[in-house]
Amino acid sequence: MLTLDALDVDLLAALQERPRAGVLELSRTLTVARGTVQARLDRMEQAGVITGYGPDVDLPAAGYGVQAFVTLEIAQGELGDVAAALAELPAVTEAYATTGSSDVLCRLAASSHEDLQATLLALGRSPLVARSTSVVVLSTLVAPRWRPLLEDRHREGPVRAPAYRS
C-alpha cells in the first residue's frame, strides 16, 4: 500500500481534470519539477494506484441506460467458479465478494429491461447461484468518485511552526 501525500492527490486531480496532459504541462500546473511529476507517476503506477489512462465511459450515454445491482447467495466454496461465470456475462460490469446475507454483489448494465431480464434469468439458472435479489437503478445520486476521499486526508495540510511570533 502506498501512502499518498498532498502532491500525489493534486497530481491525480490534475490528471482527472486533464487526462491528456503531458508530464511537462502537469509540472507547470502543479509548479513542481518535471522529474518530480514523472517520478510520482511512475511510483503510483508501480504501486497500482494508477491503473490506466483510458477513457471514462458513461454507460447510459453509450446506450446502456438500464442498470441494476444484484446480490447472489452461492453454494459454499464456489466463489471462484461464480467469479469466472460472472466474468463471462458482458452485462456484469462489476462484481464483489461481500459479507452479510449475500455472498456476491454485482452491478449490471443493459440496453433495455428485456436485456436486463435475460441476464437475470441466466444468473438464476446457474446451479452455482442459490438465490438472487435485484434492484433497478432509477438515477445516480453520487457517481463513482475518489477525489473527496483522498483530498479529505490532506485537507488540514501539514502542521508547521509559525515563521515568526507575534
Which DSSP helix (H) or strand (E) runs through 71?
A: strand 66-74
Domain ranges within the chain, ordered by starting residue? 6-55, 66-136
pTM of this prediction?
0.80
What is 66-136's CATH number? 3.30.70.920
Residue 166: per-residue pLDDT: 52
Tens of pLDDT, residue by residue over 37-87, are 999 999 999 999 999 988 889 999 999 999 999 999 999 999 999 999 999
Identical fold between 6-55 and 66-136 = no
Model confidence pLDDT, tens digit, residues 91-129 = 999 999 999 999 999 999 999 999 999 999 999 999 999
CATH of domain 6-55: 1.10.10.10
**116 within 8 A of 136, measured Cβ to Cβ:** yes
List 69's β-bridge partners, or say none: 107, 135
Classify the C-alpha dihedral 67-69-73-77 as positive or negative.
Answer: positive
Helix, strand, or coil (residue 135): strand
Q: What is the pLDDT of residue 163?
A: 55
Specify the pLDDT at position 55: 84
Which pLDDT score, from 0 to 100, does residue 125 have?
A: 93
Q: How far apart, in whole angstroms, are the C-alpha atoms of residue 147 and residue 110? A: 28
Helix axes 34-46, 6-17, angle to 10 degrees: 90
